[in-house]
Chain A
Amino acid sequence: DIQLTQSPSSLSASVGDRVTITCRASRDIDIYLNWYRQRPGKAPNLLINTASNLQSGVPSRFSGSGSGTDFTLTISGLQPEDFATYYCQQSFNSLITFGGGTQVEV
Chain B
Amino acid sequence: QVQLQESGPGLVKPSGTLSLTCEVSGSSLEKTNWWSWLRQSPGKGLEWIGEVYHTGSTLYNQSLKSRLTIFVDKSKNQFSLKLASVTAADTAVYYCASREQLLPNWFDPWSPGTLVTVSS
| Majority secondary structure of chain B interface residues (helix, strand, loop or mixed) | loop
Contact pattern, B 101-120, Cβ under 8 Å of A = 1, otherwise 0: 00111111011110000000
Minimum CB–CB distance for A59 against chain B, Å: 16
Minimum CB–CB distance for A20 against chain B, Å: 20
Contact pattern, A 86-106, Cβ under 8 Å of B = 1, otherwise 0: 010101101111111100000
Specify which of A36, A45, A91 is in contact with B105 (CB 8 Å cutoff).
Answer: A91
Nearest chain B residue, comparing its CB with the CB of A45: B110
- Range of interface residues on B (Cβ < 8 Å): 20 to 34
- Range of interface residues on A (Cβ < 8 Å): 20 to 34
User: Which A residues are within 8 Å of any B CB, using their own CB?
Assistant: 1, 31-32, 34, 36, 38, 42-46, 49-50, 55, 87, 89, 91-92, 94-101
User: Which B residues are within 8 Å of any A CB, using their own CB?
Assistant: 36, 45-48, 59, 61-62, 95, 99, 103-108, 110-113
Can you list 29 A-B contacts (CB < 8 A)?
A: A31-B104, A32-B103, A32-B104, A34-B106, A42-B113, A43-B110, A43-B113, A44-B46, A44-B95, A44-B107, A45-B110, A46-B107, A46-B108, A49-B104, A49-B106, A50-B106, A55-B108, A87-B45, A89-B106, A89-B107, A91-B103, A91-B105, A91-B106, A95-B48, A95-B59, A96-B48, A98-B46, A98-B47, A98-B48
